[in-house]
Amino acid sequence: MPFLTLPRDVIDKILHELPVVDMLTCLSVNKYLNEVLTDSIRLKLKIQLWSLGAESNPFVKLSPFERLRQLNKSTDNWKNLTPEFIYSINIPTRAAVETIEV
């Protein structure tokens, strides 16, 4: 039986077992494989975690959809983070110490 004639959920499970680098290669191999990879929440989550250098916590009871949503929300928050400086501390420089006259 040719690989592409397998049911979509079986192809999804097979692709999920591949290393992410091989999954990314499959994106450009075939239009159907590209659709499977881009439509599958589970595969998107695995690729997203890999791209961030993160790992999935097996003890979290969220669905793959919720995990991906939370991951994207967290990533967006980090991208949009703008530091806010509340306090300034004056630190005397060495030059200021040297200019003191007695």
- SS3 at position 9: helix
From first to last of the 102 residues of the chain, give the pLDDT tens digit.
Answer: 788 899 999 999 999 999 999 999 988 988 999 999 999 999 999 999 999 999 888 898 999 999 999 999 999 988 888 877 777 777 777 765 555 454
- pLDDT for res 102: 47
**Sequence ranges of the domains in the chain:** 3-79
- pLDDT for res 100: 47
> pTM here?
0.71
Please check whether residue 70 is in contact with residue 48, taking contact to mean a CB–CB distance below 8 angstroms: no
- pLDDT for res 88: 74
